[in-house]
Structure formats: C-alpha cells, structure tokens
Amino acid sequence: MPPAGSSAFFRRSRPLWMALVAAGMGYYGWAVFSPKTIPYDSLGPLGTFTSYLVENHKVWLNVGYGISWLIHVVETVYALKLCRDKGITDGSTQLRWAIQTFLFGIASLSHLLNYDPLKETKHQ
C-alpha cells in the first residue's frame, strides 16, 4: 500500500462493514425483485417485518430501494471529488475509491472523509 499523503492513497473498508452493507442491499433487492421466494417464516422478526412491508408498502419499498442506490451514486461522485481535493490523482486509485464507495457507501467514504494528507505527511 502506498504511504499516507500519497497520490495513490487507498484504504479498504473493513470486511465486517462490507459484509453488512452487501447483505443489507442484497436482502433489500431480494424483497423488491423476488419477494415471493423469501422464506419469511424462517427469518423471525426480520421476515415478519419484510412480509409486512412487501404486502402493505410495496411502492415505498421500491422507491426506497431506488433512493438507496441513488445515495450510493452520489457518494461515489463525492468520493471522486474528495480524491481530487485531497491530492489522490492516480487514476486507478480513484477508480478503486469509486467502485468501493459505490458498492459499500459510507463504509468506504468514511475512510476518505477522515483522510488528511497534510496531517499524514507531517507524521512521516
């Protein structure tokens, strides 16, 4: 990994957060696109809640799913802006930040928000 304060600075999100975001978005997509295949009874309170949403609030469930992906797109655009603002100019590193932020949202973006290249270079 390049040193902090580098034009190629990248930090991977923690695996736990990546798994939680992926599972959450995956389950949400499952509820939106194939709700009849969900084993509601096997999922306890989560299944009961999901069943209620699918049966009574399908439109809002769909809208919320679209909004959640739109938020990920906005976070991705912001991550690219932060890369430029913080001196991360390497194209492949910017692409890594964009992909990671698109897939995992704030779990990725928080690393970029907390990165201070001036502070990091003083400690070297």
Q: pLDDT tens, 15-62?
A: 999 999 999 999 999 999 999 999 999 999 999 999 999 999 999 999
Determine, yes or no, domain membership for 114: yes
Cα–Cα distance for residue pair 37/108, rounded to 1 Å: 31
Determine, yes or no, domain membership for 64: yes
Confidence of residue 118 (pLDDT cuts 50, 70, 90): confident
Query: What's the confidence (pLDDT) of residue 122?
Result: 62
Q: In which domain, by residue range, is 46 found?
A: 15-118
Number of domains, the chain: 1
- Taken in order 74, 14, 99, 121, the sign of the CA dihedral is positive
Determine, yes or no, domain membership for 59: yes
pLDDT digits (tens, 9 = 90+) for 91-114: 999 999 999 999 999 999 999 999
Determine, yes or no, domain membership for 1: no
Nearest to 22 by CA among 64, 57, 72: 72
Cα–Cα distance for residue pair 11/1, rounded to 1 Å: 8
Cα–Cα distance for residue pair 52/46, rounded to 1 Å: 10
Predicted structure pTM score:
0.85
Determine, yes or no, domain membership for 65: yes
Determine, yes or no, domain membership for 35: yes
Determine, yes or no, domain membership for 7: no
Confidence of residue 119 (pLDDT cuts 50, 70, 90): confident
Nearest to 9 by CA among 74, 105, 79: 79
Cα–Cα distance for residue pair 68/26, rounded to 1 Å: 12
Determine, yes or no, domain membership for 3: no
Q: Residue 121 pLDDT > 70, yes or no?
A: no
